[in-house]
Structure formats: C-alpha cells, structure tokens
Amino acid sequence: MGEQSLGSGAPGNTPAVLDMPLVLRTSTAFWLASAVTGILPVILEVAGFDYGQSTPKWSVPYLVVTAVPWAALQVWAALELLRGAGWARTVLTVLAALSVLGAPLDLSGLILAGLALTIAGAVLMWRPAANLFLRQG
C-alpha cells in the first residue's frame, strides 16, 4: 500500500489517495461539481433553455469562449490538488475569488449552487488537515 502513488514518477513521489485527508477529497469533488454547474448555464443558454437567468443574446459567444477554458482550468487544477500540488490550491483560490466577484446580481438557482460549491471547495482545501498533507507532498 505504501508504494501506491497517483503521479507518473517513481513510487512514493506523490501522496497516495488513501493517505489524503477527507477534506481534500471532498474539496476536489466540490470543485469538479462546481465546474459542471459553471458550464451548464452556458450549455442551457446555447440550447435556448430558460433556466432563470436573463442573458443578452450578444453575450452568448463570449460566455462560450470564456466558460470552456475556465471550466477546463478548474478541472485540471482540482485534479492536480488531488495529486498533492500545493500550487493548484492557489490557482483555485484565485478562481473562487473571481467567481464570487464576477457573479451576476440576479442569481439563478443554478448559479447560486455553483457559487456555493466553489466557496465550499475553497474553504475545505485550506483546512488544517489539507495544509499538513500538501506540505508533506
């Protein structure tokens, strides 16, 4: 069991998932769910579904061009966090701050859920157990 690792390097170079604190695994799950809820409104907007958020038609291409790379960065950083990369926590913290600052004033339920997942993921990844784990990795 001690030889397991998630990285592509030699055994023991990255922390094993079994040794990872629950708060970090939960944080990663929240970040991945947040990425899905972040891209879902764009998909619904492009498909023409009303999900409770009014978006001008001229802004839809902008949403697509920004939301896809944003979600990809979020998923990549969350997976790197799972591997024990401390820098990923900083990237995700910046994404969380920008998400909160850039949120529309008239929040739909879907956007509110995405923000809640983002904030929960950000808080959990800075808990003491996560700090200790990321320092060791």
* Length reported for the chain: 137
Decide if 45 is inside a domain: yes
Decide if 95 is inside a domain: yes
The amino acid that residue 95 corresponds to is: L
Rounded Cα gap, residues 111 and 63, in angstroms: 14
Burial class (CB within 10 angstroms; exposed 0-12, middle 13-18, buried 19+) of 75: middle
Domain range spanning residue 117? 20-136
pLDDT at residue 3, rounded to an integer: 40
Decide if 89 is inside a domain: yes
pLDDT at residue 19, rounded to an integer: 64
Decide if 44 is inside a domain: yes
Q: Which residues have C-beta within 8 Å of that of residue 132, sequence separation ≥ 6? A: 21
Q: Residues of the chain whose pLDDT is less than 70? A: 1-19, 51-54, 136-137
Domain count, the chain: 1
Q: What is the pTM of this model?
A: 0.78
